Structure 1
């Protein structure tokens, strides 16, 4: 039977969405229709109908995770832009701490970690002001996830008063805070190796870890975080045993002049190396790009893997 164009939607509704279709895929829907009907561009219409079926899309979820082009952000000076995050909860330590707060500089990759009893906005803001701003100066920009403590009025007002711009990760996309998230994983793996059986001494191992993390060369800058931050390397406990060549004696003025020239060279090197590393990472990342992007005001599906309690996960929309 040849179907008039005006009746095509009725046929598609009946043989895909209705009781005769049961929301089967394109191939099976097309076979059933072709056994009974004919119209021009039948396959294209069936494919388009099944693809736009909201019930099918909601239950199946994304078959291929879309991936857009990687956006780069290159900083030009130490403590110009920092990332902040809170990890936990962990077993309450003997000092009463349950979380650790991480602050990391995007330029030097220098990390600071503070064990804290809670993740309230007032606690986080107090640590940020007294332990970061008062020691390293106020950054131009602070980047965080969308945690309630970072989005709170207290934290926002602290940033406003101190004159720093607050940015946040994209919704449902914590990878845009990848530097600090990766650091958290490294620290947590280390703590899992060294804590006692009761796991109540985890906060005592943070500072030794930081000494070890700050002293080796960072792959994205090709210098150590300590050298990028201070213009000199850290003296490690092992150096007291093996010994290191002493610096030539000089006056404070000569040392300051040499340090100034050295730091300028360090900054140029870190900027150049960072840009090269970022571009290589972008090239690798964009090879798997499969998203054409979206226009403003476009309607999109939101993949939500969370499941409602009391309902079968297999019978819920994705």
Structure 2
């Protein structure tokens, strides 16, 4: 099931579906006969990326280098996959793989001696990503 985006209605996708014997089913946004999950997911991801851009999420690592939003897409992906969604009341990781990845921040103690500064920086990136994704 997909929306009617030109990417999905192109001859390429039509031929791929024919080769695999799959039937293409299209929906419209918020159509009463579909649950709207695909449209909602796309909207959520768009909102998350906009938050990264709009607020200029910039963090400096231990060497003083600045990370711009495009370099933080891995953190954005992890944030999305491990955040509980209102519709399903589960994380996408649970729904897709039936388990949540163990996050570094879950086992990282703030004042532990010997923690690499980049690990602490990554923890901050994940926490800021979660805050911005929730907005």
1:193 pairs with 2:51: yes
1:228 pairs with 2:101: no
Larger Rg: 1
| Structure 1 residues 9-44: Cα deviation after superposition (integer angstroms, max 9, x where no partner) | xxxxxxxxxxxxxxxxxxxxxxxxxxxxxxxxxxxx
Cα pair 2:3 2:39 within 8 Å, conserved: no
* Alignment partner, residue 174 of structure 1: 29
| Structure 1 residues 74-131: Cα deviation after superposition (integer angstroms, max 9, x where no partner) | xxxxxxxxxxxxxxxxxxxxxxxxxxxxxxxxxxxxxxxxxxxxxxxxxxxxxxxxxx
* Alignment partner, residue 81 of structure 2: 214
Distance in 1 (CA, whole Å) between partners of 2:6 and 2:95 is: 33
1:148 pairs with 2:3: no
How far is the alpha carbon of 1:202 from its aligned partner? 4.8
How far is the alpha carbon of 1:189 from its aligned partner? 2.4
How far is the alpha carbon of 1:150 from its aligned partner? 1.6
Cα pair 2:82 2:101 within 8 Å, conserved: yes
1:205 to 1:187, Cα distance in 2 relative to 1, 3 A: farther
Distance in 1 (CA, whole Å) between partners of 2:51 and 2:10 is: 35
Q: How big is the alpha-carbon RMSD for the aligned residues of Structure 1 and Structure 2? A: 2.7
Q: Name whichever structure is richer in strand by fraction.
A: 1
Q: Name whichever structure is richer in helix by fraction.
A: 2
Cα pair 1:191 1:205 within 8 Å, conserved: no
Distance in 2 (CA, whole Å) between partners of 1:231 and 1:149 is: 30
Q: TM-score, normalised by structure 2?
A: 0.54
* Alignment partner, residue 162 of structure 1: 20
Does 1 or 2 have the higher relative contact order (CA < 8 Å, sep 6+)?
Answer: 2
